[in-house]
Structure 1
Amino acid sequence: MKDKKTKEKNIYNPIKFEEKIYYFWRKNNFFSNKNIGKKTFSIILPPPNITGDLHLGHAWDLYFPDLLIRYKKLKGYNAIWYPGTDHAGIATQAKIEKLIYDEKKQNRFEIGKEKFLQEIWNWKNKYEKNIFNQWYKIGVCLNFDKYKFTLDKDMNDLVIETFIKYYKKGLIYKDQKIINWDTKLQTAISDIEVERKDTKSNLYYIRYPFFSKEEKYLIIATTRPETIFGDTAVFVNPNDKRYQKFIGKYLINPLTREKLKIYADNYIDINFGTGVMKATPAHDFNDYDLGKKYNLDFINILNKDGSLNQNCLNYSNLDLYEAREKIVKNLDKNNLLEKIDQNYINNISYSQRSNSIIEPLISNQWFLKSSILAKNILNFKKDNIYFYPERFLKDYQKAISNMQDWCISRQLWWGHQIPAWYFEDKIKVQKNSPGKNWIQDNDVLDTWFSSSLLPIIFKNEQIISNSENNNYLSDTLFTGRDILFFWVTRMIFQSIEIEGKYPFKNIIIHGLIRDKNGKKMSKSLNNGINPIEIINKWGSDSLRFSLLANSTPGNDINFNEEKINFSWDINNKLFNINNLLLILINQKKISRKNIMDLNISSLDNYILDKFKKLLILIENNIEKYNLTIIFNSIYKFLIEDFSSNYLELLKEVNYEDKIENLVNIYLEILICLHPFIPFITEHIYQSLKKYINIKESILLENYPNLNDINNLEIEFDIIEKILTILKILRKIKSNQNYKKNDEIFIFNKNLKEQEKIKIFEFLGKKYNFKFLDENLKLKFNDIYISNNFGAIFYKFNNNNLKTIDNLKLKARNYFKFEYERANKLLLNKGFLQKAKKELIVTETIKREKYKKLLSLIDI
């Protein structure tokens, strides 16, 4: 029974300790370092919608900022990560409307605004806790004392004050314009809530008779015959020779019998349909622009629910699709239907919220002059904003340069109610009612309007002034490329307009998480993955390591759960290393010391040299966001350098400070690894408390600093490099002189210490070489490579290679060929654009590897 319990205890099972550790962090308030006197670093969390469960993309959004925040905390920064959630106006209201209808068979109008909003608040309070619980499970280092919900009072006050300020400056206005209309939810929606889908449709070819009797008719193709009621002109391309003689003449609307003038415009696609286009300015965005350009009439044919209105004669109040069927029959009956193409693929706009087809509609809405605010960004010269990858800077600049006025009103109840008041034909924009009989606008503001003010609501002058980037409202933003235009650019122009500062200095853009086959995850494909399910199976550290180790800024990632097994193995290895360490400690009390104060051995020097190089690599890459390089290096250091070499060698040698040095070095390694695998490093850190006097949490430690250690011995490193070269030489297919049973002999001219002898004997077994003393060395006169600590001898089965130059030349040519091949690929823009990120990373690693080997070949 005892053996069974001991065995279970030694199995890495993150489920047993991750939740306990997170409770420990939160209970002791380790995330909220309030020492404002220190240098600061801040990140704003993209607020998830308060509509339910977080998805795998949210986990990706969380893991890297969490890594950076923990890294900065250990570096001595007062690192602030501002959390929030978004009220998600249209998504939340749609969800609650559906729930109420399913349960009570009532719509919101039947239950009334007050009761409906109370239902939403109740639902929000429930699912807000759900999101918090998911954050806890993922392990985020958020400053919960600074949490904001976008409908909190202070947030609402800021939103209303901003609206009023913009209105007074002439930046907000109300006008009749064409917008995206969701006929099911009966509200305007933003472009980001519109999803384009290829849909099989009918393409109807309809005859439009000429007004004069000189010609019979022109044929016009349309997918929406019902919009004929809104036609106010016809267009052809001026370069289309088929129709040049008809420009300026008139056709007759086949349904209303109204005259339609034929115009010419280069916008018209000669190859679509017949090359003749009917213009319905009130129900098509491109037609709307033509209507403005040529001063056409705008005829609205739709009711808010998507049915046809009174302008559609006998078809008024009919459902759009029922009306379409009857209209087509009528056209056919009157010999005005030429043909129907039933296999036409049409790119149709759908609402992401209701899945209904979006109808472009002329509507009286509130607009923000985003185009003017965008110009303010282009003229803003105070410092710069940086994108990772840099290519997204062009996308951002393009979005800013082409920005149109933004429809900010929504016909909803859930949200920030617009502070506009009406009485008769008067309007006043202010926070409170102007008096009796004044009625407030029923509409609310687009969710993106309020969420783009987050950098301002989170603004803290003390934190900003102590930041290295004190000309910015915060330091860094980590977000997906899908909301670059809709959220990021709007945060930028809001912050510049209101505060005269960029909201952040660095923007790290990530791609999408796709399934293992490269398909976008979605509910319709049933390929979405709940990160909590993965965490419950593998642990948060394993998911974190897997996502971040395979991520490159800007690129999508294909998620395959099978790959998490690799990450789990790494954590399991660290867990087992700790078990070995506890055995070596053997209940001994250890003094906590600075590395500089340790009486270190040659072997300790070996691992400290490796560790110092890892620290330098992390520091050089972490804020360039080269995570793949970092995680690969962590893996190599942990598995090969620390475990396979250092710990195994410790078994072979004995010296007075062996365990004390091991534990102190190990603690520094744990602190370094903490931002990358926080749960297991804290778990191991706590397990050492009974043996060494350490702090309450690893989060309170100081990041390792080995800058003062410059005299690390490099003998073992040299041997490893030479043996690596030898291994590769043996793999050169063109070289037939190398055999598996070729012998390798190592001589060290300075080898005197017993400890070093033991180490070299161990390396000899591991790397399959033989150790020589000075007398035996004289017996060998074959080819050798000399270096500053001794020599390596190669004893070949045949003696075709006569000189060391031949040996080095073959190696150099091979290394050079591989380096130049990889380098040529990585300088090829076409390769970088088309190749999968995994291949780019592989070739980058190869290039650096062979570049390094080229520099080593002459040691």
Structure 2
Amino acid sequence: MPHPRISVVTRELPKAWIPADRENEIYQRWVNAGYFTADVTSDKPPFSIVLPPPNVTGSLHMGHALEHAVMDALVRRKRMQGFETLWLPGTDHAGIATQTLVEKQIAIDGKSKEDFGRELFIDKVWDFKRESEGSIKGQMARLGDSVDWTRDRFTMDEGLSQAVQTIFKRLYDAGLIYRAERLVNWSPVLQTAISDIEVKYADVDGELVSLRYGSLNDNEPHVIVATTRVETMLGDTAVAVHPDDARYAALIGTTLEHPITGRQIPIVADDYVDPKFGTGAVKITPAHDPNDFELGLRHNLPMPNIMDTKGRIVDTGTEFDGMDRFEARVKVRERLAAEGRVVAEKRPYQHSVGHSERTGEPIEPRLSLQWWVKVEQLSKAAGDAVRNGDTVIHPASLEPRWFGWVDNMHDWCISRQLWWGHRIPVWYGPNGEVECFGPGETAPAGWTQDTDVLDTWFSSGLWPFSTMGWPDKTPELEKFYPTSVLVTGYDILFFWVARMMMFGTFVASSEADSPGAVPFKDVFLHGLLRDEHGKKMSKSRGNGIDPLDWVDEYGADATRFTLARGANPGADLSVGTPHITASRSFVTKVFNASKFAMMNGARVGELPAELTDADKWILGRLEETIAEVDEAFESYNLSKACEALYHFTWDEVCDWYLELAKVQFGAPGAEPAERPDDAVADNTRVVLGNVLDKLLRLLHPFLPFVTEDLWTALTGGDTLVTSEWPTTTGFDAGAATQNIENFQKLITELRRFRSDQGLKDSQKVAARITGLGTEQLPPPIAALARLTDATDTFAATASLEIRLSFGTVTAEIDTSGTVDLVAERKRLEKDLAVAEKDLAQTTAKLGNPEFLSKAPDAVIEKIKARKQVAEEEVVRINERLNGLK
């Protein structure tokens, strides 16, 4: 008889793990206990991460959830390793996005921001902010983020505003901030400059129109140029050709009359022009095209701005003034066509056009008076920090992309024509004076402040140190800066990471007692999220997934594990229903296996001196798993850590050791041939308890909720959050590893043998195994292979030879009376017919020369593989049918 159930569970566990019943309660207990609050007075080594601040306007999407799962795993492990951890949360004011949303809200009542005025409108935005940010914090709690809520920050907090003003003045005084007319991405709908990251390019069907400049007489000077934006020709100030193009050599340096304005425009020579593209001549509109602008600077060309802030044609002195740019595109083309100057039209003509991410409109390259950061010095320092190893990028394969950006960076437009944001701290005096005032400084009476605000990336570029109190010298800066690692997507490596590096290195160079040379020591760049079919997730595709939907249905642990399991540095990851359901099954497996172990007496204690091979093997594999997980964490390869834990938990602890443990401590269901020795049973419970203790600790960074309930039940401890991270002990399993590998192979082959003989999993059959050095079946083999000892009347109906490390083992079984031979023969004959049909079809295809000459290699290889499988099936089934005789 097996032992009765023994339970030493310190508190009762539920029958099943239902995340919704436990997660909120567990999280609130963690927060209330202060487990996530960093202690600046601690003498523990620091580990710090600042949360990439999500926009206050919305909610967390699956990309955020990925980052949070990765960051929380890193933080939880370091906390368990004895580090004083700070994971600092916060949100970004998101200038354009937030102002646009509030403007839409007031537009419902027929109001505009001008109806309220700047101050009252900003008050409304603050009200919106206070309502919106609460949902983000709630989502972070649902995910289990172990952030320090006492240090929650917002990019327009008073302290962060002081940091913005301080860095602006330092850069301004150093000559690194200036005001100038340059070309920007302009949104006529938002009526502001926008950053490159807010411009999304898409192929559209437009038109390509070829225009004739100069004389309509073929014998007189003329050139033909092509454009997709006919309306911009109203701002043309030159036509450019390549200096070595013999076709236009005589025209270089001369002028042609503009077809509409009547201005004389020069023919200039420039290497920018590709003589092999089109006619080899291009129209130059410096105020409305980035390449034309650069060429205009080189040739000192006039740069008339022919559009106002709303995208309407202005100041051309033509009948097109006042027209919208798209209306003017049609009307200008019609006039030129009527005059015989349109020599060719191609429509539709597909080409790439930049669109505003916020409004969906085509952006307009436009010459505009803006504030700029001179980046040459700053970007060099940011590049050198990586070259010198002060900051390490993971994966290293993305370093060339980093250098490609920072080494070729253009000056940064930092002004936005908005009301919501950090207002530029520059004032203008009544007599044309211009002066920048820092924190605590006041402009003289009668002076007016610049109306523009700063680009959102300007304030978020200060995030690693402004959130810790800079420019003041704070305990947080002294303890936790530079931060340990930045976790973000490779898609914003340039837009955000580069700006933080530029500002961080600038502060370090400008302060004698700077807290750090760089803002972070490591940069872990994760990839983009894709759906289960490999397509990038996006709102426009409709394939995005709300992470809270997954949390509601599958639980936070399963959601986190799904995301972390795909988190390879720099690699995109696909997630979908198959992935999350697999993770939920894993969480369920962890819970059920742990609960079963505890209900059968598993407990934590000093390891006994007497251990079975199974005990030694699992302890050895635990050692190897700890080392593998640690190595993966240190290289930020969380996917590898998850895989190691998944397979150790499921394949080794659950599928093998737990089954062997049932035999060793006589749990119900194992039914060993002999009752195990009491000492063996008790030792097994201790080994199983110790393995479970360390396994739950290893899993905690990824599955914080279920492991918390299980571990506290197993150990009686207060929390896993502050428990010790497992370390290797040098345990050597010795020969036990080979012995268990032999055992696993033997059981696997016996189970396959049983299946081939048509036996159900629950059926027990008599067997004789020779070559093990004992006549009786060892209890583990009998239990796991569902075998009974052979009697005096035993007559084998089938046999199998299994090659193990020490020799060959022969297994014989008697299936008489256990298999319905007639039914089994019918089943096998049906399977044989299917296999023979597939074999005939694949053989015919591979013997057809016409098929082989036309089919792709991949298809042919697939057919060959099918044929091989069919051949093997025919042999296997025939052997089985012969065995039934």
TM class by smaller structure: 0.7 to 0.9
Q: Pick the aligned partner of 2:639 from 624, 628, 631.
A: 628
Partner of 1:838: none
1:702-737 superposed Cα distances (whole Å, 9 cap, x missing partner): 112341534x35425434158559979999xxxxxx
Q: How does 1:807-846 map to 2 (within 5 A)?
A: none
Residue of structure 2 equivalent to 1:283: 288
Give the Cα separation in 2 of the matches to 1:394 and 1:730: 52
Residue matched to 1:428: 435
Conserved in 2, the CA contact under 8 Å of 1:744 and 1:792? no
Shift of 1:603: 3.7
Give 1:762 deviation, angstroms.
4.2
Report 1:4-19 matches (<5 A).
9-19=14-24
Q: For residues 249 and 770 of structure 2, what CA distance do their matches in structure 1 show?
A: 90
In the alignment, structure 1 residue 170 sits paired with structure 2 residue 192: no
The residue type paired with residue 736 of structure 2 is E
- Are residue 565 (structure 1) and residue 581 (structure 2) matched? yes
Q: Name the counterpart of 1:231.
A: 236
Comparing 643-652 and 346-355, the one that deviates more? 643-652
1:312-327, aligned counterparts within 5 Å? 312-327=317-332
After TM superposition, the score normalised by the length of structure 2 is 0.79
Partner of 1:371: 376
Q: Of residues 614, 619, 622 in structure 2, which corresponds to 1:611?
A: 622
Quote the Cα distance in structure 1 between the aligned partners of 2:256 and 2:180.
Answer: 31
Q: Which residue of 2 aligns with 1:665?
A: 691
Structure 1 residues 379 and 677 mapped into 2: Cα distance closer, same or farther (>3 Å)?
closer
- Shifted more, 122-131 versus 268-277: the winner is 268-277
CA distance in 2, matches of 1:786, 1:530: 52
* Aligned-partner SS, 2:85: strand
**Mapping for residues 747-766 of structure 1, pairs under 5 Å:** 757-759=778-780, 761-762=782-783, 765=785
Conserved? CA contact 2:595–2:710, under 8 Å: no
**Superposition deviation, residue 415 in structure 1:** 0.7
Report the number of matched residues.
Answer: 752
Whether 2:744 is the aligned partner of 1:715: answer no
Following the alignment from structure 2 to structure 1, what is the Cα–Cα distance between the partners of residues 133 and 251? 63
Counterparts of 1:108-123 in structure 2 under 5 Å? 108-123=113-128
- Paired residue type of 2:659: E
Aligned to 1:647: 658
> Which residue does 2:526 correspond to in 1?
510
> Which stretch of the first structure deviates more once superposed, 300-309 or 268-277?
268-277
Q: In the alignment, does 2:304 pair up with 1:293? A: no
- Judge conservation of contact 1:307–1:319 (CA < 8 Å) in 2: yes
Question: What's 1:554 paired with?
Answer: 570
Residue deviations 1:448-489 (CA, integer Å, cap 9, x gap): 11101011224487667778xxxx611111110111001101
The CA distance in 1 between the partners of 2:126 and 2:656, in whole Å, is 59
Aligned residue number for residue 676 of structure 1: 702
Question: Which amino acid is 1:568 matched to?
Answer: R
CA deviation map 1:568-611 (0-9, x unaligned): 111111121133134313xx9x6x53x45787555432321121
Provide, for residues 400-429 of structure 1, a one-character-per-residue CA deviation record: whole Å limited to 9, x for no partner. Answer: 110111111111111111110001311111
Structure-1-length-normalised TM-score: 0.82
In 2, are the aligned partners of 1:745 and 1:770 still within 8 Å (CA)? no
The one of 308, 328, 334 equivalent to 2:339 is 334
One-letter amino acid of the structure 1 residue matched with residue 53 of structure 2: P
1:125-177, CA deviations, whole angstroms, 9 ceiling, x for partnerless residues? 11110100110111111111222100000000000011001111111111111
Structure 1 residue aligned with 2:185: 180
Question: Structure 2 CA distance, aligned partners of 1:244 and 1:730?
Answer: 86
- Equivalences for residues 119-134 of structure 1 within 5 A: 119-134=124-139
Judge conservation of contact 1:36–1:463 (CA < 8 Å) in 2.
no
Cα 1:403–1:721 change in 2 (3 A) is: farther
The correspondence of residues 133-148 of structure 1 with structure 2, limited to 5 A, is 133-148=138-153
Match of 1:65 among 71, 92, 99: 71
Match of 1:416 in 2: 422
Q: Distance in 1 between matches of 2:550 and 2:805?
A: 53
* Match in the other structure for 1:202: 207
Which residue identity does 2:484 align to in structure 1?
D
204-213 or 264-273: which moved more?
204-213
Q: What is the correspondence of 1:771-786 to structure 2 with a 5 Å cutoff? A: none
Change (3 A) 1:168 1:716: closer
Separation (CA, whole Å) in 2 of partners of 1:146 and 1:464: 13
In structure 2, runs of 5+ residues without a counterpart are 1-11, 510-516, 666-677, 753-764, 791-798, 814-857, 859-885
CA contact (8 A) 1:234 1:276 kept: yes
> Mean alpha-carbon deviation: is it higher for 163-172 or for 26-35?
26-35
Q: 1:250 aligns with which of 255, 266, 286?
A: 255
Cα deviation 1:187-217 (Å, max 9, x = unaligned):
1111111111111111122121249995153
Alignment-mate amino acid for residue 349 of structure 2: Y
Q: Is the 8 A contact 2:91 2:154 kept in 1?
A: yes
Distance (whole Å) between structure 1 residues aligned to residue 692 and residue 747 of structure 2: 31
User: How far does residue 794 in structure 1 lie from its aligned partner after superposition?
Assistant: 5.6
SS at match of 1:506: strand
User: What code does the residue aligned with 1:668 have?
Assistant: K
Bigger shift: 573-582 or 534-543? 573-582
Look up the match of 2:853: none
Give the Cα separation in 1 of the matches to 2:599 and 2:749.
37
Query: Is the 8 Å Cα contact of residues 433 and 440 (structure 1) preserved in structure 2?
Result: no
Change over 3 Å in CA distance of 1:411–1:769 after alignment to 2: farther
Aligned 8 A contact 1:459 1:473 in 2: no
Other structure's SS at 1:104 match: coil
1:559 Cα shift? 2.1
Aligned twin of 2:106:
100
| 1:495 counterpart (497, 504, 507) | 504
The alpha-carbon deviation at position 537 of structure 1 amounts to 0.8
Q: Are 1:75 and 2:91 an aligned pair?
A: no
In structure 2, what is the Cα distance between the partners aligned to 1:275 and 1:560? 50
Change (3 A) 1:604 1:730: closer
Alpha-carbon distance in structure 2 between the residues aligned to 1:246 and 1:796: 98
Looking at structure 2, the residues matched to 762 and 769 of structure 1 have their Cα atoms a distance apart, in angstroms, of 9
Contact 2:394–2:569 (CA under 8 A) maintained in structure 1: yes
Deviates more, 1:285-294 or 1:603-612: 603-612
- Residue 19 of structure 1 and its aligned partner are, at CA, apart by 1.8
Aligned to 1:699: 721
Partners of 1:209 and 1:216 within 8 A in 2: yes
Q: CA deviation at 1:110?
A: 1.9
Corresponding residue of 1:844? none
Quote the residue 1:524 is aligned against.
540
What's the counterpart of residue 457 of structure 2?
448
Structure 2 Cα separation of the partners of residues 194 and 491 of structure 1: 21
Task: Indicate the SS of the match to 1:541.
Answer: helix
165, 171, 175: which one aligns with 1:160: 165
Structure 1 pair 177/577, CA: closer, same or farther in 2 (3 Å)?
same
Distance 1:517 1:445 in 2: 40
Q: Secondary structure at the match of 2:49?
A: strand
1:192 aligns with 2:197: yes
- Output the CA distance in 2 between the equivalents of 1:757 and 1:795: 13
- Contact 1:94–1:354 at 8 Å: present in 2 too? no
CA contact (8 A) 2:697 2:726 kept: yes
Whole-Å Cα distance in 1 between the matches of residues 342 and 803 of structure 2?
91
Counterpart of 1:620, as a letter, is: E
For 1:563 and 1:360, locate their aligned partners in 2 and report how far apart those are by CA, in whole Å: 44
Which moved further from structure 2: 289-298 or 380-389?
380-389
